[in-house]
Amino acid sequence: MSEQPVSPHEIARVTGRTDVDEKASPARVYDYFIGGTNNYAVDRVWADRAAARYKEAGQDIRHIYRSNRGAVRRVVEYAIREHGIRQIVDIGSGLPTAGNVHEVADEVAPGQCSVLYVDNETIAHAHADILLGRAADPARHRAVFADLLEFNNLWEKVVAERVLRLDEPILLMVMAVLHFVGDSDRAERALAYYRDLLPPGSLLAISHGTFEGATPEFHELIKQYVQTTTNAFMRSPEEITRFFGDFPLVTPLDYTSHWLNPEPPEIEPWRSHCLVTIGRKA
């Protein structure tokens, strides 16, 4: 992927919007925290202020974001190496930069994997489309504009891209996105729909924020998301595993910093504040 950042002018030209750099975007804040270049001053200001507040409590917010990004890489590696998956749908993908899914997939299985990035934020999707157009293989890697909760429409758009073989296993990734959906019933209906459509042998990977072990400062930090384009909602381990329905878990539910990590950091696992696991369709 090209390291040349996408300018606000490019995004404005594609989307017709003139406010692309006026309010912090969760996708670009994420990009900034994991060391990406596709973020703007408004994102960095918000992120630095949040990081400073968290530092006062002796914790590192960057660790949360980077732990999730590390888990994303290990999800892809695990699916390809242990289950032979060659098709990936990444819902709520944000920006495909700084260790993106299709590049990880191509490192493990060069030229063999198809990746569809799906996001419902206009600006994040525009970033993805531009970035993929610069360096990715258009026959295998695409960006789709759709909303996780509008599941019929989303899956129709995924199928319409004609890069998936619908009779072969798919890795469906829903990483660090469901904690932006406050309505649990709607989220569970959407996940049930996707589980039903996935071919046998498919995997569902979910990472999700949790208040388990959290300090009061972390609760306060979550409130700050109301200043971005999206709010955030934490869930318990039991609520998170409910999203897998009858899919048996094939990996432990663990904090993102330690999940399948051969060299986990010495910092306490709970400080990543996000749990991850994978379920498999029989």
3-state secondary structure 62-114: HHHHHHHHHHHHHHHHHHHHHHCCCEEEEECCCCCCCCCHHHHHHHHCCCCCE
Given a contact cutoff of 8 angstroms between Cβ atoms, the answer to whether 101 and 72 are in contact is: yes
Given a contact cutoff of 8 angstroms between Cβ atoms, the answer to whether 180 and 230 are in contact is: yes
pTM above 0.75, yes or no: yes
Separation between Cα atoms, residue 126 and residue 6, nearest integer Å:
9
Side-by-side strand order, sheet with 141-145: 141-145, 114-119, 87-91, 171-175, 203-209, 274-280, 254-255
Q: Which of the residue ranges 47-51, 122-126, 149-153, 244-248 would you say has the lowest mean pLDDT? A: 122-126
Chain length of the chain: 282
pLDDT confidence bin for 215, thresholds 50/70/90: confident
For 239-267, how does the pLDDT look when each residue is reduced to its tens digit (9 = 90+)?
999 999 999 999 999 999 999 999 999 99
118-147 in b/e form (b: 16+ CB < 10 A) is bbbbbbbbbbbbbbbeeebeeebbbbbbbb
pLDDT confidence bin for 59, thresholds 50/70/90: confident
Q: What is the DSSP letter of 126?
A: H
Residue type for position 256? T
Higher pLDDT: 136 or 244? It is 244
- Max Cα separation, the chain? 51
Is a pLDDT exceeding 90 seen at residue 158? yes
- Under DSSP, is residue 124 helix (H, G, I), strand (E, B) or coil? helix
Take residue 13 and report the two structure tokens written for it. 């030209």
Is a pLDDT exceeding 90 seen at residue 90? yes
Chain centroid offset of residue 86 CA: 18
